[in-house]
């Protein structure tokens, strides 16, 4: 079973240089987050999907003995009852804590970037301030827009404004830090789930005809192999998944409700799913629990998972 999970769904946020991020993650189960095959035996998929290419490269250069030492310390933290065994429940709780920490830290970082841009004089953010910081450069473009590789900054601005409005719960035209967090990470706010579905649908529906075909579904995940080469096994599996599970009414395409059932499945807890996945993969004696030795023996698996906060915990020197 392949589980493709991501903690954060960010289209555009306030970044250090106030530039627009074109690439964004999805809150999707079963969508590859890397061009690497997930089960190719190297875990390059996990490293690039969860660490990013730069962080994955840094990981490859980290001294093996030091990284294993740090992972061992993380295992001690996961073992909340100190019995030497990691249960699914303990792993799930650790993943939840890691996820919450990531969201809080990212929000704080982006919020401080905004405060620095306004000399720290305000504790709320309105759309015009955000728009000027992120999209103000468009006002000086002769064509009124910038198109890069088919990507329109004007379209992204419109999407951001729609999301900004939805995050503004009290409708006072300004975002508090908590509302800003919902804007940055809508997948973690119940009232923002529909915008996650809408944005995902719009991204995949390339011809903008209001439906997602099999070609669009596969094309969003896989850009194709060299001519004559066979498709990876996971692509073949996804084609079958589209026909047998995603396309519930069998009409050959996905509508918004079918996409919603796919990316926001009812009663699905991705932290629980990831915890079960990790325990299953590393449980060498099949007792449904993990020892420290089993985790360290599967080192590559864990540094590419949410259990180590996408590997970032390995680099937090103050924790060790």
Could you give the count of Cα atoms lying within 13 Å of 261 in the half-sphere of its Cβ?
A: 11
- Percentages helix, strand, coil for the chain, rounded to the nearest 5? 55, 5, 40
- The answer to whether 77 touches 91, Cβ cutoff 8 Å, is no
Question: Cβ neighbours of residue 112 under 8 Å, at least 6 residues apart?
Answer: none
Per-residue pLDDT at 180 = 96
Residue 136 to residue 17: CA distance in whole angstroms: 13
* Phi-psi domain of 210 (left: phi exceeds 0; alpha: psi -120 through 50; beta: other): left
- Separation CA 293–CA 75 (nearest Å): 10
What is residue 172's predicted lDDT score, i.e. its pLDDT? 95
Residues of the chain below pLDDT 70: 1-62, 118-120, 225-228, 304-320
Query: What pLDDT was estimated at residue 63?
Result: 72
Q: CB-based contacts of 263: which residues, under 8 Å, 6+ apart?
A: 26, 27, 28, 29, 196, 197, 200
Cα separation, 198 vs 14, in Å, equals: 22
Q: Which of 116, 146, 119, 114 is nearest to 130 (CA)?
A: 114
Q: Please count the other Cβ atoms lying within 10 Å of the Cβ belonging to residue 199.
A: 19
Enter the tokens of residue 271. 């932290």
């Amino acid at each position: 079973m392949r589980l493709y999970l991501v903690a954060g769904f960010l289209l555009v946020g306030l970044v250090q240089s106030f530039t627009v991020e074109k690439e964004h993650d999805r809150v999707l189960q079963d969508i590859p987050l890397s061009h690497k095959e997930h089960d190719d035996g190297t875990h390059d998929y996990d490293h690039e999907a969860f660490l990013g290419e730069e962080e994955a490269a840094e990981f490859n250069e980290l001294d093996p003995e030091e990284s294993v030492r740090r992972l061992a310390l993380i295992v001690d933290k996961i073992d909340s009852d100190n019995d030497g065994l990691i249960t699914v429940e303990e792993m799930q709780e650790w993943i939840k804590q890691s996820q919450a920490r990531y969201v809080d830290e990212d929000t704080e970082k982006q919020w401080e970037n905004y405060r620095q841009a306004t000399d720290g004089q305000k504790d709320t953010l309105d759309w015009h301030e955000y728009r000027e910081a992120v999209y103000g450069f468009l006002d000086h473009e002769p064509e009124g827009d910038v198109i890069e590789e088919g990507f329109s900054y004007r379209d992204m601005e419109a999407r951001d404004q729609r999301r900004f409005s939805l995050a503004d719960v009290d409708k006072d035209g300004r975002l508090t830090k908590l509302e800003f967090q919902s804007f940055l990470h809508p997948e973690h706010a119940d009232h923002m789930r529909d915008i996650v579905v809408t944005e995902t649908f719009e991204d995949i529906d390339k011809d903008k005809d209001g439906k997602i075909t099999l070609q669009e579904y596969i094309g969003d995940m896989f850009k194709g192999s060299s001519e004559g080469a066979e498709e990876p096994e996971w692509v073949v599996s996804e084609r079958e998944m589209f026909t047998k599970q995603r396309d519930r009414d069998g009409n050959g395409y996905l509508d918004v409700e079918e996409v919603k059932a796919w990316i926001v499945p009812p009663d699905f807890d991705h932290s629980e799913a990831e915890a079960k996945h990790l325990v299953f993969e590393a449980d060498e004696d099949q007792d449904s629990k993990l020892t420290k030795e089993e985790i360290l023996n599967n080192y590559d698996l864990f540094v590419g998972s949410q259990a180590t906060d996408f590997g970032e915990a390995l680099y937090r020197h103050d924790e060790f």
